[in-house]
């Protein structure tokens, strides 16, 4: 990185509550455009909770509340004037388990987001589908069966289909919640390889419980522990010379 890209996503003093339980405590983090950012930590540390705050998924969890600011391109997404539906369109998400829409074909899955906005033009849909599937490194495998049910694909293919589905609406941020935890090693490697390409078109925030994965794919890493963001830095630094002894203990495998 010769010149530093601008900050696209900035969390400022974010607290997240489930009822009275404070699951994320006063987290402030900046993510720069075109970077891959890993959130690591033992289970229950609040990393997924934090990730889901970035596209307001907590809106659907009864009792969940987010305090503080999350700025997307300088605009607080929790500002009352912000429409969460339009906001989510700018922030894509890939889930822990592959979750294609089971009643739709491969093609319809990819363009599901585009169809929401009323795009009906077949040629345009096809063009976007091809671009997104290529972006998810799935095109060659499914080009012959775009109209077959998405559930006919293997688990790894389904997860890349979900990545293509998220890419099709051109998100500025792509959230990935342990996207390879349900996959076999070969599929995991494919998706990890994909990251360096994906960051040319979007900014990735990835939650992972696999430290090696974080070390392999990310530019920055943030370490979470029981709701606190303990340390944030360039990935190499976090893994080779962490400043906090708790980070050191975790990355060296002494707990977690």
Partner 1 sequence: MSEPARRDPTPARLSSSSDRVFEILILMLASIIVLVFLTSIYQLGKDSWPALTHFGLAFFTQRTWNPVNNTFGASSMIAGTLITSLVALLISVPLAVASALFVAEYAPKWLANPVGYLIELLAAVPSVVYGLWALFVIAPVLGRWQITFFNPEFPDRLALYTKCAGLWADNKTTLQCFFVPSSGAGRGLALAIIILTVMILPYTASVARDVIRLVPADQREAMYALGATKWEVISRAILPYARAGILGGVILALGRALGETLAVAMVIGDSQDVLRSIWGNASTMASVIANQFGDARELLHRSSVVTLGLTLFFLSVLVNYVARLIIARLTPRGIQ
Partner 2 sequence: MTSAATPTTARAPAGLSPARRFQNTVMGGLILLATLIVVAPLILIFFYLLKEGIGAMNLNFFTRVPAPEGETGGGLLNAIAGSVEMLLMASVIGVLVGVAGGIFLSEYPRHPLMPTIRMLSDVLAGIPAIVMGLVAYGLIVLKFGFSGFAGALALGFLMIPIVVRTSEEVLKLVPLSVREAGLALGLPKWLVTLRIVLPAAAGGIITGVMLALARVAGEAAPLLFTAFGNPGVNLDPRGPMSALPLEIYRGATSAYDENQRLAKAGALLLITLIFVTSLLARRFSRRR
Binding site residues, partner 2, CB under 8 A: 83, 85-87, 89-90, 116-118, 128, 131, 134-135, 137, 139, 169-170, 172, 193-194, 197-198, 200-201
- Please list every residue from 39 through 78 that binds partner 1, using CB under 8 A: 55, 57, 60, 62
Q: CA gyration radius for the chain? A: 18
Does 89 engage in binding with partner 1 (CB under 8 A)? yes
Does position 98 interact with partner 1 (CB under 8 A)? The reply is: yes
Return phi, psi of residue 55, to 5°.
-120, 25
Give residues 104-123 in contact with partner 1 (rule: CB under 8 A). 104, 112-113, 116-117
Q: Using CB distances below 5 to 8 A depending on partner kind, what does residue 125 bind out of partner 2, partner 1, none?
A: none
- Strands 36-40 and 21-32, how do they pair? unpaired
User: Length of the chain in residues, anyone?
Assistant: 256
C-alpha 24/C-alpha 129 separation (Å) is: 37
Q: Considering beta carbons, is residue 104 or 137 the nearer one to partner 2? A: 137
Q: Report the nearest approach of partner 1 to the CB of residue 33 (Å).
A: 20
- Among partner 2, partner 1, none, residue 60 binds (CB under 5-8 Å by kind): partner 1
**Phi (first) and psi of residue 99, to 5 degrees:** -135, 60
Q: How far is the CB of 95 from partner 1 (least distance, A)?
A: 5
Transcribe 79-90 into DSSP letters.
Answer: STTS-HHHHHHH
Q: Which listed residue (165, 190, 199, 232) binds partner 1 by CB under 8 A?
A: 165
Residues 149, 102: contact at Cβ < 8 Å?
yes
Q: How far apart are CA 50 and CA 66, in angstroms?
A: 9
């Amino acid at each position: 990185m010769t010149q530093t890209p601008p900050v696209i996503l900035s969390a400022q003093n974010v607290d997240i509550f489930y009822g009275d339980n404070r699951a994320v405590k006063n987290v402030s983090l900046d993510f720069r455009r075109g970077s891959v950012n890993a959130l690591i930590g033992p289970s229950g540390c609040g990393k997924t909770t934090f990730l889901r705050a970035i596209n307001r998924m907590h809106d659907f969890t009864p009792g969940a509340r987010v305090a503080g600011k999350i700025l997307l391109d300088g605009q607080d997404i929790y500002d009352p004037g912000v429409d969460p539906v339009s906001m989510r369109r700018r922030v894509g998400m890939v889930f822990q388990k592959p979750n294609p829409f089971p009643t739709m074909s491969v093609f319809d899955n990819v363009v599901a987001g585009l169809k929401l906005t009323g795009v009906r033009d077949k040629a345009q849909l096809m063009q976007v589908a091809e671009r997104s599937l290529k972006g998810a490194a799935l095109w060659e495998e499914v080009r012959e069966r775009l109209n077959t049910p998405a559930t006919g694909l293997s688990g790894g293919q389904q997860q890349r289909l979900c990545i293509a589905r998220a890419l099709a609406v051109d998100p500025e941020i792509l959230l990935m919640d342990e996207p390879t935890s349900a996959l076999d090693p070969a599929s995991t490697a494919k998706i990890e390889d994909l990251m360096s390409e994906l960051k040319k078109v979007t900014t990735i925030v990835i939650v992972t419980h696999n430290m090696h994965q974080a070390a392999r794919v990310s530019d920055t890493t943030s370490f979470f522990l029981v709701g606190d963001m303990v340390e944030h830095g360039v990935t190499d630094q976090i893994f080779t010379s962490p400043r906090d002894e708790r980070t050191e203990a975790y990355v060296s495998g002494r707990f977690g």
